[in-house]
Chains A and B, each alone.
Chain A
Amino acid sequence: MDRKLIFDKPPTSYNNTDFFPPSLPKINNAEEIIPDKFLRKELPLPSLGELDVVRHYTNLSRLNFSVDANFYPLGSCTMKYNPKLNEDIAQKNEFLLLHPYQDEKYTQGALEVMYELNRILCEITGMNQFSFQPSAGAHGELTGMLMIKSFHSLNKEKRYKVIIPDSAHGTNPASSAMCGYETVVVKSTPSGLVDIDELRKKTDSTVAAMMLTNPNTLGLFEEQILDISEILHKKGALLYYDGANFNALMGIAKPSLMGFDVIHLNLHKTFSTPHGSGGPGAAAVGVTKKLCDFLPVPVVDKKGNKFYLKYDIKHTIGRVKSFYGNFLVILKAYIYLLRIGRKGIRRVAYNSVLNANYIKEKLKNHYIPASDKKCMHEVVFSCVKQKNRGASALDIAKRLIDFGIHPPTMYFPLIVKEALMVEPTETESKSTLDNFIKVMIEIDKEIDTNIERIKRAPSTTPVGRVNETKAARFPCLRWEKPGE
Chain B
Amino acid sequence: MPYILNTPEDIEKMLKEIGLSSPEELFNHIPKETKIDDLSLIPERKSELEVSNTLNALAKRNKSINKLNSFLGAGLYDHYVPCALKHLVYRSEFYTSYTPYQPECSQGILQAIYEYQSFICLLTGMDVSNASMYDGATSLAEATSMSLRINKKNTIIVAKSVHPEYREVLDTYFKHSDYSIIEVPYNNDGLIDTNALETLLENNISCLIIQSPNFFGLIEDIHRVSTMIKDKNILLIEVTNPMSLALLKEPKQLGVDIVCGDGQPLGNNLCFGGPTFGFLATKKEYLRQMPGRIVGKTEDSEGNVAFCLTLQTREQHIRREKATSNICSNESLNAIAAAVYLALLGKEGFKNAALYSLNNTHYLIKRLKEIKEVNFPFKTLVFNEFAWRINGAREILKKLEEKNILAGVILDKFYPELKDCILSCCTEKKTKKEMDDFVDTLKEIIHG
Contact = CB atoms under 8 A, between A and B. Distances in A.
A30 B33 contact: no
Nearest to B290: A477
Interface stretch (A340-348, A382-390, A445-453): A340-348
A416 B397 CA distance: 62
A438 interface: no
Contact of A344 (B2, B74, B299): B2
Contacts of B129: 477-478
Interface stretch (B22-30, B227-235, B438-446): B22-30
Contacts of B274: 135, 280, 321, 323-329
A110 B272 CA distance: 8
When A and B form their complex, which 9 residue pairs have the shortest distance between CB atoms, in order from nearest?
A323-B273, A341-B45, A276-B333, A280-B275, A109-B61, A100-B273, A278-B332, A174-B326, A60-B108
A91 interface: yes
B158 interface: no
Interface string A91-104: 11111111111110
Interface stretch (B97-105, B190-198, B370-378): B97-105
Contact of B136 (A48, A64, A322): A322
Nearest to A323: B273
A179 to B, nearest CB: 6
Counting chain A CB atoms within 10 Å of each CB, which of B136, B359, B401 scores highest? B359
Interface in B383-418: 383, 401, 406, 409
B149 to A, nearest CB: 12
Interface string B352-368: 11011011101100000
A27 B246 CA distance: 16
Contacts of B54: 338
B428 to A, nearest CB: 5
Nearest to A162: B321
Nearest to A348: B4
Contacts of B221: 38
Nearest to B93: A61
B226 interface: no
Counting chain B CB atoms within 10 Å of each CB, which of A98, A146, A342, A348 scores highest? A98
B168 interface: yes
B374 to A, nearest CB: 20
Contacts of A107: 62, 272
Given A5-B118, A23-B431, A466-B306, A321 B169 contact: yes
A138 B137 contact: no
Nearest to B433: A23
B105 A458 contact: yes
Contacts, number: 674
A64 B39 contact: no
Interface string B298-340: 1111101111101111011111111101111111111010011
Contacts of A88: 52
Interface string A110-139: 101100000110011000000000011111
A150 interface: yes
Nearest to A179: B176
Contact of A43 (B56, B59, B104, B351): B351
Contact of A407 (B30, B94, B102, B317): B102
Contact of A60 (B90, B111, B311): B111
B45 A344 contact: yes
Contacts of B78: 97, 99
B42 to A, nearest CB: 4
B284 to A, nearest CB: 8
A63 B304 CA distance: 15
A339 interface: yes
Nearest to A456: B301
A275 B97 contact: yes
Contacts of A279: 99, 132, 134, 275, 277, 329-334
A109 B296 contact: no
A343 B406 CA distance: 44
B447 interface: no
Contacts of B86: 91
Contacts of A401: 102, 104-105
B417 to A, nearest CB: 20
Contact of B80 (A19, A50, A61, A258): A19
Interface string B113-134: 1110111011000011101101
Interface stretch (A195-203, A231-239, A285-293, A424-432): A424-432
Nearest to A45: B347
Contact of B99 (A22, A27, A277): A277
Given A64-B97, A353-B27, A464-B104, A470 B299 contact: yes
Interface residues of A, number: 199
B19 to A, nearest CB: 8
A176 B308 contact: no
A89 interface: yes
Contacts of A321: 134-135, 137-138, 169, 274
B432 interface: yes
B259 interface: no
A183 B325 CA distance: 15
Contacts of B178: 180
Given A23-B432, A183-B320, A278-B293, A68 B61 contact: no
Given A50-B84, A225-B34, A350-B26, A471 B109 contact: no
Given A276-B95, A427-B4, 9 more contacts: A96-B271, A97-B66, A99-B65, A177-B322, A277-B97, A353-B26, A466-B306, A467-B306, A478-B118
Counting chain A CB atoms within 10 Å of each CB, which of B121, B171, B344 scores highest? B344
Interface string A242-254: 0000000101111
B45 A340 contact: yes
Contact of A109 (B62, B109, B327, B340): B62
A6 B45 contact: no
Contacts of A25: 432
A23 B356 contact: yes
B430 to A, nearest CB: 6
Nearest to B340: A57
Given A67-B96, A98-B64, A339-B45, A464 B321 contact: no
A362 B272 contact: no
22 contacts: A19-B82, A47-B346, A64-B105, A67-B96, A80-B3, A85-B52, A99-B70, A103-B401, A106-B62, A120-B43, A135-B135, A277-B94, A280-B275, A280-B331, A282-B275, A326-B271, A335-B55, A340-B3, A358-B14, A462-B107, A466-B298, A478-B118
A264 interface: no
Contacts of B56: 92
Nearest to B432: A24
A159 to B, nearest CB: 12
A43 B246 contact: yes
Interface string B256-287: 00000010000001111111010000000001
B26 A53 contact: no
Contact of A277 (B39, B64, B74, B98): B98
A378 B415 CA distance: 51
Given A47-B346, A252-B30, A64 B94 contact: yes
A373 to B, nearest CB: 8
A268 B329 contact: yes
Nearest to B318: A170
A50 B310 CA distance: 31
Contacts of A123: 39, 41-42
A416 B168 CA distance: 42
A433 to B, nearest CB: 8
A134 to B, nearest CB: 8
A16 B342 CA distance: 12
B163 interface: yes
Contact of B59 (A17, A95, A171, A468): A95
